[in-house]
Amino acid sequence: MTLLVTGGAGFIGSNFVLDWFKTSDEPIVNLDALTYAGNLANLASLAGDGRHLFVKGDIGDRALVDSLLATHQPRAILHFAAESHVDRSIHGPGEFMRTNVQGTFTLLEATRAWWGGLGPEAKAGFRFHHVSTDEVYGSLAPDAPAFTETHAYAPNSPYSASKAASDHLVRAWHHTYGLPVVTTNCSNNYGPYHFPEKLIPLMIVNALAGKPLPIYGDGQQVRDWLFVGDHCSAIRAVLAGGRLGETYNVGGWNEKANVEIVHTVCALLDELRPSAAGPYTRLITHVTDRPGHDRRYAIDARKIEAELGWRPAETFETGIRKTVQWYLDHADWVADVQSGAYRAWVDKQYG
């Protein structure tokens, strides 16, 4: 038995791989193109571990995917690989269409061709698990009920439109060809190995460097935040027991405005690594808003709880403390990812 993971050197994918081996010896073949967001240092603790086979390659490379499927005969594919940052999608949507839409299409077609040749038992047991986002549902009014799985799709950014397109492809490959798929739509993750272009790690690394903490617009945009380890446990639960063709929303029951998140990060840093210059909130700066910025996301995660008994284990208070402490303990990892390419991105986005 083997799993094929795509994007397993990224933030969530690498957390998933590391978590998997805490409770299972089932091997993982990890296909990742190592874009700016992919980082083998996340998987350094698996060096020499025969359960993990890393393959540097693109999900859009049909010949490579064909050969991995034929060689390793996975019982499931966990599809994390994507371009994932909304601001980058605004500057340059092309890569998002290439990986998230065309890449998912290629992966589905390769899977369909290989899966079609399996015997009845292997065919029935196979799973294609598509890892998606709550952003496909668009923006909620302040008092609107949280997103359920039947909420209409209304993506507003090039990123969320590309993820919505990939969700539709996955759905269609089940409906038309009978491919055994499940999809999870999750809210904002945070935790170890989060690339410091996203809100929480950016605020931690900027604060420690004494740099401005850039809040877009009024900072009253609301997100639901989930510790990454809880996303991993949700994926394991859906892989094990999710019903074929179904989608499951995954969230932390933890809606917070961006300003509140930034104040919480500052307060933890004041406690754990006080600055001689004064409270970290002195660095907060309001900057031009993100174009098309979604005002609020909220996840109704009752379906996954009712069907599969999944609930997050971390509260926001425990998860954010662990996260801030992880960044304090991993200054080398932070320094390594802040390469020339990272600095070029920060200059482009924040001036």
Nearer to ligand DAU, 258 or 264 (CB): 258
On whether the CB atoms of residues 68 and 31 are closer than 8 A, the answer is yes
Nearer to ligand DAU, 52 or 231 (CB): 231
Q: What's the rounded Cα separation, in Å, for the pair 316 and 189?
A: 11
Nearer to ligand DAU, 221 or 323 (CB): 221
Residues 135-164 that bind ligand DAU (CB under 6 A): 135
In the annotation, is 159 catalytic? yes
SS3 of 133, please? strand
In the annotation, is 305 catalytic? no
Q: How far lies 31's CA from each of 52, 66, 246, 247, 344, in Å?
A: 11, 12, 25, 24, 27
Does 345 engage in binding with ligand DAU (CB under 6 A)? no
On whether the CB atoms of residues 228 and 194 are closer than 8 A, the answer is yes
Q: Where do we find the tokens 């993506």?
A: 155
Does 32 engage in binding with ligand NAD (CB under 6 A)? yes
Does 298 engage in binding with ligand NAD (CB under 6 A)? no
Nearer to ligand DAU, 290 or 330 (CB): 290
Nearer to ligand DAU, 223 or 263 (CB): 223
Q: How far is the CB of 243 from ligand DAU (least distance, A)?
A: 23
Look at residue 202 and give the partner it binds from ligand DAU, ligand NAD, none, a contact being a CB closer than 5 to 8 Å depending on partner kind. ligand DAU
On whether the CB atoms of residues 186 and 250 are closer than 8 A, the answer is yes
Q: Which of 83, 135, 197, 294 is catalytic?
A: 135
On whether the CB atoms of residues 229 and 314 are closer than 8 A, the answer is yes
In the annotation, is 36 catalytic? no
Look at the alpha carbons of 264, 265, 270, 272 in this order and tell me if their dihedral is positive or negative.
positive
β-partners of residue 248 are 184
Q: How far is the CB of 131 from ligand DAU (least distance, A)?
A: 9
Q: What's the rounded Cα separation, in Å, for the pair 34 and 7?
A: 8
Residues 146-185 that bind ligand NAD (CB under 6 A): 163
Convert residues 37-66 into a mask of x (bound to ligand NAD by CB under 6 A) and - (unbound).
xx-------------------xxx------
Nearer to ligand NAD, 138 or 280 (CB): 138
Residues 13-42 that bind ligand DAU (CB under 6 A): none
Residues 233-272 that bind ligand DAU (CB under 6 A): 258
Does 214 engage in binding with ligand DAU (CB under 6 A)? yes
β-partners of residue 128 are 77, 181
Does 9 engage in binding with ligand NAD (CB under 6 A)? yes
Look at residue 58 and give the partner it binds from ligand DAU, ligand NAD, none, a contact being a CB closer than 5 to 8 Å depending on partner kind. ligand NAD
Does 138 engage in binding with ligand NAD (CB under 6 A)? no
Tokens of 22: 């805490």
On whether the CB atoms of residues 96 and 89 are closer than 8 A, the answer is yes
β-partners of residue 129 are 78, 182
- Could you give the dihedral angle defined by the CA atoms of residues 131, 33, 122 and 244, in that order, rounded to the nearest 10 degrees? 10
State the number of binding residues for ligand NAD (CB under 6 A): 31
Q: Whose CA is closest to 56, among 44, 76, 39?
A: 39
Convert residues 260-289 into a mask of x (bound to ligand NAD by CB under 6 A) and - (unbound).
------------------------------
Cβ atoms within 10 Å, residue 234:
25
Q: How far is the CB of 198 from ligand NAD (least distance, A)?
A: 7
Q: Whose CA is closest to 349, among 133, 160, 189, 198?
A: 198
Q: How far lies 51's CA from each of 128, 194, 226, 279, in Å?
A: 20, 24, 28, 46
Does 80 engage in binding with ligand NAD (CB under 6 A)? yes
Q: Which of 32, 58, 83, 159 is catalytic?
A: 159
Instruction: List, by residue number, the catalytic residues.
Output: 134-135, 159
- Positions touching ligand DAU (CB under 6 A) are 84-86, 133-135, 187-188, 198-199, 202, 214-216, 221, 223, 258, 290, 297
